[in-house]
Amino acid sequence: MERRVVITAASAITPIGHTREEIVAGLENGVSGVKKLREDVELAEFIHSQVFGTVDYDIDFDFKRKYRKTMGPVAYYACQVAKEVIEKTGLKSEFITSGRLGVAFGSIHGSPTVQRGIYRCFSSGSSREFAAIGAVDYLKSMVHTTAVNITKMFGITGRVISSSTACTTSSQSIGFGYETVKYGLQDAMLCGGADEYDTATVAVFDNLLACSTDFNDTPHLTPRPFDVRRDGLVVGEGAGAVMLEEYEFARKRGADILAEVIGFACNNNGGDMILPNARGVSAAIRIGIDNAGISPDEVDFICAHATATKMGDVVEAQAIDRIYGDNPYVSGLKSYMGHTMAACGAIEMVLTLYMMQDGFIAPTLNLDEIDKRCAMVRHVTGLLEKNIRIATIQNFAFGGVNTTLFIKKFE
């Protein structure tokens, strides 16, 4: 039997803020979280792109030492948003440890602690540098470090899903969590994703000529999704999390319901590992619409993947036009904070929830002149007061992975 799935709490750490108030203010006032690349970054002199979506404010990570010792920065981010989400739900410890709550959380990789040790070893020419790698550094660096550090900190004994599919990591986590609750395998799932600064990630996209380089001296002017002057993505960092609960379970305990998850799709292009594919993206949108049981004209807002790469934005605009025409409003929220990699789907879900609750749509930042090849969709170029009833969050990843999530305002 299929069950309704609702969102009962959300939290995010982003380059434009941490609290709900900070993030909403950033969206409403067009604040950019993109800054100059930190000067202390190893190998920074070899990277062409000198901009980054930076979390440059203090966060009070009030974690006990027994939890901290297995955590790198990415797990700190993940556990902080998880902690805030759990606190907001008011779920009792008996339920949290009962086995009926699971975790679906991921990152592109764990903390780059081991990478830094290897770099020091090669740069110094001495294997003694490996001594700087501690006994628990593997636990900080493994791909599922975010998920298992969350389970450890809160004593969660239910299902663990740790997706690691690049830019679709956290949207997959939310989607798989949605299916887990929908089909009765768990009563609730804590879902999301996180990523920290990593030179290797920046260098990979830089070497692929996919990173923004034209605005190194004016970081707030990039990325520029759908704009004629866009010149690539900006790598960012952060974390996002949501609590998904079965509707009757949430209702009976008097939970604050933020929205309902009504659909999810995940597919693969079945072809090139890097280049976007309009056919595959369009199919993911269609599958998601069918899964949600709605028609395309019921969707009010599309939170586009919109990385500001030359072809990615064109392919996404073509796919949106093919399925929706110019009916839904479209914004690219990465324009505010860069591409937060594994965290992007969860962060964009949280920001979309905030806009849905407050009745506005933030415009795509830096969209000064729309590329004619992307002009067929309904771009938001100024702050818009709008009641969003149904929204979709779209994410696409290297390896040809596509996801779409659909949420509905709870009424």
Residues with a catalytic annotation lie at 167, 305, 339
Return d(Cα 242, Cα 259) in angstroms, integer.
Answer: 11
Residues 6+ apart with CB under 8 A from 26: 14, 16, 17, 33, 336
SS3 content of the chain, % helix, strand, coil (to 5): 40, 20, 40
- In Å, the largest CA–CA distance within the chain is 63
Cβ–Cβ < 8 Å for 179, 244: no
Long-range contact pairs involving 84-88 (C-beta distance under 8 Å, separation at least 24): 84/9, 84/11, 84/241, 85/9, 85/10, 85/11, 85/190, 85/192, 85/241, 85/242, 85/243, 86/9, 86/154, 86/190, 86/243, 88/8, 88/9, 88/10, 88/11, 88/243, 88/256
CB 335 within 8 A of CB 236: no
In the numeric block, which tokens belong to residue 211? 């990173």
Whole-number Cα distances in Å, 365 to 165, 374, 394: 26, 15, 18
Chain-centroid distance of CA 348 in Å reads 6
288: closest CA among 263, 321, 269?
A: 263
DSSP annotation of 296? G
Strands 101-106 and 160-161: parallel
- Residue 208 vs residues 47, 173, 336: alpha-carbon distances, Å: 12, 27, 23
Q: Which residues contact 185 (CB under 8 A, 6 or more apart)?
A: 102, 159
Q: Are 350 and 344 in contact (CB under 8 A)?
A: no
